[in-house]
Amino acid sequence: MNKMAPEKIVVQTFYDQVGWQEDSASRVFMDAHLFDDLRAVTEPYRARANERVRELLDAGGEFLLDVASGPVQFESYQRFSDPYGKRVCVDLSIRALTGARSRIGDRGWFVQADITALPFRDDVFDGIVSMHTIYHVPADEQQIAIRELYRTLKPGRRAVVVYNWPRNPLKRLIAFPFELVDGVKGMILKIPGARYFISRIKRRFSRGRSEQIEFEENHRASLSLYFHAHPLRWFRRQSDSLFQLDLLCWRSVDVPFLRRVKESERGRALLRWIQKAEDRFPRWMGRIGAYPLLVIRKGSTR
């Protein structure tokens, strides 16, 4: 690979040294601990989101390109390649590719490469998936990344990209009651002696916290992983002259919201309601929600 931009080196270093470290007990990677909610209460909601990706890739064929594949850590990720002969895993991280090889073995090929300079010829892949990748690419190179996906995609096929909107109405709406609670907390903390009593209560109820949780929180506080998300209008400009872009929903709510959902029947019911709204109104929820599915379709040359 040619000399990389500093932002890409930051991403590569993070995933080689932190993100793709695997917990030996849970067999879950640090990336998932840091950037997702793995509790049982959210599992059906998370599974449905990945099922949406699989459904868009179900045409099958000889080659599926997985850009920034990571170690293909979850079974729902592994199922993306079921209709394909080979899954071509591309990543900047050697640790990611080692993990992917251990999971899919002979079903995959493993290439260390940059999404902005894919080492493949034009029109070769029957399907392409890229999850949570492009917003970690330098802002001025994201257009190149998208064009590389389009270039290597076969005519008549589609690439599926999971992205993250920088601002969305649903997040602001959902965040309002939590911000209200935080505002009340802020007012309480101004009362003389309140901080002392609150700290005593926290110490009392945090004695059972595991070292693993503390370790994760320390990492989360020190992360400097590069991130830049463009708004929808930017994507519209990219697609107008090159490809057909369809906007659907992957998840409409973000991870901080999921972590506030209680392990209860009421919490499960809330997520079922959100999932039903996403399934019924995928384009609308993709527009106003947190994580859209950007489906790039390449017209047939015939």
SS3 breakdown of the chain: % helix, strand, coil, rounded to 5?
55, 20, 30
Q: Is the pLDDT of residue 265 over 80?
A: yes
Options 3.40.50.150, 3.40.50.1440, 3.40.50.720, 3.30.1330.10; CATH of 6-168+224-297: 3.40.50.150
CA distances from residue 237 to 21, 168, 240, 243, 258 in whole angstroms, order as listed: 38, 19, 5, 10, 32
The rounded distance, in Å, linking the Cα atoms of 94 and 87 is 17
Q: What integer is the mean pLDDT of 209-235?
A: 63
CB atoms closer than 10 angstroms to residue 285: 25
For residue 17, the Cα-to-chain-centroid distance in whole angstroms is 19
Tokens 């919201």 map to which residue? 257
Q: Is the pLDDT of residue 178 over 60?
A: no
The closest of 16, 8, 9, 14 to 99, measured between CA atoms, is 16
Weakest mean pLDDT among 120-129, 175-184, 289-298: 175-184
The sheet carrying 244-251 orders its strands as 108-112, 84-91, 61-67, 125-131, 153-162, 291-297, 244-251
The C-alpha atoms of residue 118 and residue 90 are separated, in whole angstroms, by 9
Residue 129 has pLDDT above 80, yes or no: yes
According to the model, what pLDDT value does residue 143 have?
A: 93
> Domain spans of the chain?
6-168+224-297, 169-211
Helix, strand or coil, per DSSP, at residue 257: helix
What is the distance between the alpha carbons of residues 246 and 160, in angstroms, rounded to a whole number? 10
Q: Report whether pLDDT(23) > 70.
A: yes
With a cut of 70, say whether residue 164 has pLDDT above it. yes
